Amino acid sequence: MAEENFETIGQDSGQNRASARTKERFQIEYQSVTEKEVSLLRDTYATMRSSEREDGFSGTEENGEQLLSMGASQAQLMMYQQIMRAIDRLNEKVDGILNSMSGGREEESGMRKAMCVDLSATGLRMISGHHLSNGSFVKVTITLPPLHPAVVTAIGKIVKINEVQLTSGKKAFETAMAFEAINEFDCEEIVSYSFKRQREEAAKSFEAGDS
């Protein structure tokens, strides 16, 4: 997937996007959910941030408050959170390896992997080998890159699907989703990450211009 050309992905979008967005590629996971499940999950996803929900990164908020009450600094708390998220991602990779060795498939757990190619606080675009129906719903887990380590889970609605051919010749699907239910703090995590990436890219362009 890393060698594929995604330069044109995300350029033709009919959605109103905030200026805080990034087109960096990184892996995400999603799971199809029914409209009935969405109605049950909507309020929870809107009112509770990902770290507070069972399907989000667990333990960060509660343990963080305990560390602060014990005299830990904000910098130490942030380091602790980053380490715990790294351990969480490592555990997921180990589970995936064990599942693969045992002959299991990711579809059995309901989770599928995709490549995020365009992200903002209002939605995302991804490249997936699985076709989703327009208007269907998914639960998506976004593990942001180490530049701004955070895990965001949201409910998305599929709004556009295009069949694409990868440079390898394989068929895939460029799928756009709009977030139907996402907590405002999770939105801020995405916006913060996007602005960090924009500043990083601007700094690189400035340095390249000086050289």
Provide the residue ranges of all domains of the chain, joining segments of one domain with +: 21-210
Element counts in the chain: helices (H) and strands (E): 4, 7
pTM score of the predicted model: 0.66
Instruction: Report the pLDDT value the prediction gives residue 21, as an integer from 0 to 100.
Output: 73
Percent of the chain topping pLDDT 70: 63
Instruction: Look at residue 105 and tell me whether its pLDDT is greater than 50.
Output: no
Each residue's pLDDT tens digit, 63-84: 555 555 556 666 666 666 666 6
Please report which residue ranges of the chain form alpha helices under DSSP H: 35-47, 60-69, 74-101, 184-210
Of 42, 9, 45, give the one whose Cα is nearest residue 24: 9
Pick the range with the lowest mean pLDDT from 24-38, 59-73, 84-98, 115-129.
59-73
21-210: what CATH class? mainly beta
Dihedral of CA 14/166/197/199: which sign?
A: negative
pLDDT tier for residue 206 given thresholds of 50, 70 and 90: confident
Instruction: Look at residue 174 and tell me whether its pLDDT is greater than 50.
Output: yes
Instruction: Report the pLDDT value the prediction gives residue 108, as an integer from 0 to 100.
Output: 42
Instruction: Look at residue 135 and tell me whether its pLDDT is greater than 80.
Output: yes
Instruction: Look at residue 25 and tell me whether its pLDDT is greater than 70.
Output: yes
The residue with greater pLDDT, 63 or 48, is 48
